[in-house]
Amino acid sequence: MIVIYWSGCREDEVTPPQTNQTKLNLNDFASAQSCVFCHPNHYNEWSGSMHHYATNDPIWMNSINSLQASTNGKLKDWCWQCHSPIGFLTGNAPSTFQLSDLQPLVREGVTCDVCHSMLPPHTTTNQTIAYNVKPGRTKYGPIADAQPNMVHESKYESSFTRSEQCRACHDLISNNIPVEITFTEWQNSTWGAMSVECQNCHMPTYTGQAAVGGPVRDNVHRHDFIGVDVAMTDFPNKTEQRNAVDSLLKKSASLFLDAPMNASVNDSVQFTVRVYNDRTGHNLPSSVFFNRQMWLEVTVSNGSDTVYRSGYLDTNGDLMDKNSALRPNEDIDLTLFGGALYKNGHETNVFEMDSLVNNSIPAFQSRIARYRFKVPHAGTWNLKARLLFRPFGPYLFRSLNAEQYISQLPVFEMNVQTTSVEVR
């Protein structure tokens, strides 16, 4: 049974996915533009965030347009639920579209008025998300003693300070399989047990005004929602966002490189690289783990000769695994912490899947990769391991007719370790 909540009413037994739910109207929602005058920091940070990018993302658009064709329209407005609740709830979620066709309010994606009118219960259901969006004059938030203003009422709602506020969209179950489940991963982790909430890591606090003219508070929250993704198009604060992703990723995991100090010529030398997810509040990577690429690049060299390498890219920029068009499966030792979705044993998409393989690293767990090399002659051999991350592989962009964005794809270095082996 699927239950959808909105505006306080309750409807039972709705068959997902739903199309053209006109229960709410566009003019029930306010644009982020109408908040900028009094909340300039919040607006500025949000405008460069992935929550704003959610409906400005050509990869998202191309994915929907191609899935709509391959499922003969069965997809309907499924993908809109989280990327544009306003589009979904007001019936402004076209089956196929160009971004420029969308209503301006729909193009704001996960905008201020979506989150600040979203009330409990925050639950996870199969296929159709259960959220309770009550737009209107009252803005709900974390401040119990908000100073009155001329434009809106303010109301304290305790879930804003807790992870459950994020749950409806960050816990995706498809065909009864929990798949993009950052919330569940967090809840089952020590972070969840310690009540270190999503907001603690993704909405850090600063001292300042929550609104122009309001009191100075010591717990105003950043709204740039830094994660791992970056805009591929021209987008506000693009450089700042990329730099912030880079520094978040550098604080995500520890790396240990363990090798013998000495070896003899022609020995088969074994060494290990351990990745420890000690600082990410959920799996690493999380959510769309099947698209993310986090991998180990490993090199053994003496400066002039390289006797071993893994985790390098082909001339298309792809890892040499099954997705390489030029050198498929050549990198047999490749350590990639991703995964894939399947239907009847064939790789598929999140809408049609019936099973999955997930090689991401849960919070406070490690993965160990083992490597072996042979040294042809004596001397000092340097071992280097880098933990690298990029939101997508170029192969995915090519498959979605989005090759023009490949040059925009960054590779972030999360961690690097080196050691050396003396060979006699």
What is the gyration radius of the CA atoms in the chain, in angstroms?
A: 24
Q: What is the largest CA-CA distance in the chain?
A: 80
Angstrom distance (rounded) from CA 385 to CA 280: 20
- Per-residue binding string, ligand HEC, 102-131, x by CB under 6 A, is --------xxxxxxx-x----------x--
Angstrom distance (rounded) from CA 196 to CA 330: 42
Cis-peptide into 121, omega within 30 deg: yes
- Per-residue binding string, ligand HEC, 344-383, x by CB under 6 A, is ------xx--------------------------------
Amino acid in position 277: N
Angstrom distance (rounded) from CA 112 to CA 114: 6
Which region among 95-103, 281-289, 334-342, 377-385 touches ligand HEC (by CB under 6 A)?
A: 281-289
Q: Note whether 154 binds ligand HEC by CB under 6 A.
A: yes
Q: Which of 18, 286, 302, 310 binds ligand HEC (CB under 6 A)?
A: 286
Angstrom distance (rounded) from CA 126 to CA 2: 7
Q: Which of 106, 263, 284, 421 binds ligand HEC (CB under 6 A)?
A: 284
Say if residues 38 and 213 touch (Cβ distance below 8 Å).
yes
Q: Which of 5, 83, 273, 293 binds ligand HEC (CB under 6 A)?
A: 83
Q: Note whether 248 binds ligand HEC by CB under 6 A.
A: yes
Task: Give me the least distance between CB of 304 and ligand HEC, in Å please.
Answer: 36
Q: Note whether 172 binds ligand HEC by CB under 6 A.
A: yes
User: Is 123 or 299 the residue whose CB approaches ligand HEC more closely?
Assistant: 123
Q: How many CB atoms lie within 10 A of CB 299?
A: 17
Q: Which of 77, 106, 107, 292 binds ligand HEC (CB under 6 A)?
A: 292
Cα 296–chain centre separation: 20
Q: Note whether 285 binds ligand HEC by CB under 6 A.
A: yes
From residue 202, alpha-carbon distances to 254, 311, 315, 412, 414 in Å are 20, 30, 35, 19, 18
User: Is 105 or 421 the residue whose CB approaches ligand HEC more closely?
Assistant: 105
Q: Which of 4, 24, 30, 93 binds ligand HEC (CB under 6 A)?
A: 30
- Per-residue binding string, ligand HEC, 189-228, x by CB under 6 A, is --x----x-xxxxxx------xx-xxx-x--xx-x-x-xx
- Burial class from Cβ neighbours inside 10 Å (0-12, 13-18, 19+) for residue 137 reads exposed
End-to-end CA distance of the chain: 69
- Burial class from Cβ neighbours inside 10 Å (0-12, 13-18, 19+) for residue 385 reads buried
User: Is 223 or 367 the residue whose CB approaches ligand HEC more closely?
Assistant: 223
Task: Give me the least distance between CB of 322 and ligand HEC, in Å please.
Answer: 20
Binders of ligand HEC among residues 35 to 54 (CB under 6 A) are 35, 37-39, 42-43, 46, 50-51, 53-54
Q: Note whether 390 binds ligand HEC by CB under 6 A.
A: no
Q: Give which of 11, 270, 256, 289 is closest to 131, Cα–Cα.
A: 11
User: Is 220 or 385 the residue whose CB approaches ligand HEC more closely?
Assistant: 220
Angstrom distance (rounded) from CA 180 to CA 165: 16
User: Is 114 or 375 the residue whose CB approaches ligand HEC more closely?
Assistant: 114
Angstrom distance (rounded) from CA 120 to CA 133: 9
Angstrom distance (rounded) from CA 417 to CA 154: 50
Q: Which of 68, 90, 163, 335 binds ligand HEC (CB under 6 A)?
A: 163
The residue whose Cβ lies closest to ligand HEC is 281
Binders of ligand HEC among residues 57 to 76 (CB under 6 A) are 57, 59-60, 63-64, 67
Which region among 96-104, 137-145, 254-262, 321-329 touches ligand HEC (by CB under 6 A)?
A: 137-145
User: Is 220 or 300 the residue whose CB approaches ligand HEC more closely?
Assistant: 220
